[in-house]
Amino acid sequence: MAAALKAGDDFPEGVSFTYVPYKPETGAVTACGIPVKYDASKEFKDKKVVLVSVPGAFTPTCQNTHIQGYIEKLPELKAKGVDQVIVISYNDAWVQAAWAKANGIKDEIIFASDDGAPFSSSIGWTLGPRTARYAIVVDHGKVIYAEKEPAKEVTVSGVDAVLAKL
């Protein structure tokens, strides 16, 4: 089994996701856009980032409980020094982009794909083939918080748990 990340670890090298950057001309939910690579390992070296993983876009717990907290409390996260919030799931970049748009998100939060779950698999945090529900806070390349949900509820990966650790 892969080694889970924990506070004090360096964020691993070679981690990337794909996402569709927001552009006004592709702002409609049904507009596709072109996915680009997000080099998480590189980007996380000079930022404070909250990486939130969910099993799937548009699913009841992910949509109604988990992600809404991050959307609603984004100003509080920013006030605590968070430069970027990234939401990943097993879904492809187009589904993630549509999910962001359906929630009124342009570029305030990056909705990216861990397509096929290579990153989540590398740390052993999956639910079958899907990404598990977890949160990781990385401060300039160093993991300062990393917790995977022990059950179906949103507790240790929710925004309030993350805010308490910042």
Judge whether 32 counts as a catalytic residue.
no
Q: Which of 51, 54, 62, 95 is catalytic?
A: 62
The CA–CA distances, whole Å, from 91 to 56, 97, 101, 127 equal 6, 10, 15, 13
Kind and range of the H or E run holding 119: helix 118-122
Sign of CA dihedral 18, 85, 133, 45: positive
* Contact present, 121 and 35 (Cβ < 8 Å): no
Which positions are catalytic?
62
